[in-house]
Amino acid sequence: MKLFGSYTSPFVRHCRIALEESGEQFEFVETDYAQSAEGSPAKRVPYLEIGSLKLHDSSAILKYVREHSGGDFLSNLEDFDMYCLVNTAMDTCINLFLLERDGITPEQAPYLERQQQRTHAILKSLNDTPWDFDKLPWHDATIRLACFLDWALYRKRLTLDAYPQLQKFLAAANQHESFVRTAPPKN
């Protein structure tokens, strides 16, 4: 089994966490933009090769890993909804990050301003979640959120100053060994 991706991608990090937690043996193949464009029709990472089977999206990879190791992939509707909400914020934030690298910023286009507002509205909603920090659930929705928040801070895409509950959430996520071990390299 080969997982293709980058150490900084929050999507890839989530897959690495799931693979570690499952005990599955896998080879991580660091992949850049050019390689991902050749290796996947989605032209992004992660993608996974298991013999002749190739999975092209982190959600499909997570579903395979969880179910193959005898677990569930987001069988609770509320957890699945949170996962989808976080995915929306993360995709949006990453797209804005990549557009900014090309010199295109939200100030230049009302649509991009709306996308930036979407991210903050989702973060506010998640911040307002009644988290129980004494027994914080660790499942694919919360792992996805932790990967997103940590990536956003790593890439300096946002601060959590306006989101004190999410600050506590991320501190709690940093108590999980697999989350700490898969952190992006420090600059």
Other Cβ atoms within 10 Å of 171 Cβ, number: 11
- Do 109 and 64 reside in the same domain of the chain? no
| Domain's final residue, options 68, 103, 124 | 68
Q: What is the CATH classification number for the domain harbouring 25?
A: 3.40.30.10
| Residue-level pLDDT at 186 | 83
Task: Clarify whether residues 62 and 143 are in a common domain.
Answer: no
Identify the pLDDT of residue 37.
Answer: 87
Reduced to 3 states (helix: H, G, I; strand: E, B; else coil), residue 11 is helix
Question: Would you call 49 helix, strand, or coil by DSSP?
Answer: strand
Give the pLDDT means over successive 10-residue stretches in the chain (187 positions).
97 98 95 90 94 97 97 96 98 96 95 96 97 91 98 96 97 96 89
Residue 62 shares a structural domain with residue 85: no
- pLDDT number for residue 134: 85
Provide the number of structural domains found in the chain.
2
Range of the domain at 153: 77-177
Residues 64 and 108 in one domain: no
* 121 assigned to some structural domain: yes
CATH number at residue 157: 1.20.1050.10
User: Would the pTM of this model clear 0.85, i.e. be above it?
Assistant: yes
Sequence-separated (6 or more) residues with CB below 8 Å from residue 98: none
Residues 169 and 85 both lie in one domain: yes
What is the model's pLDDT at position 187? 67
On whether both 85 and 145 belong to a single domain, the answer is yes
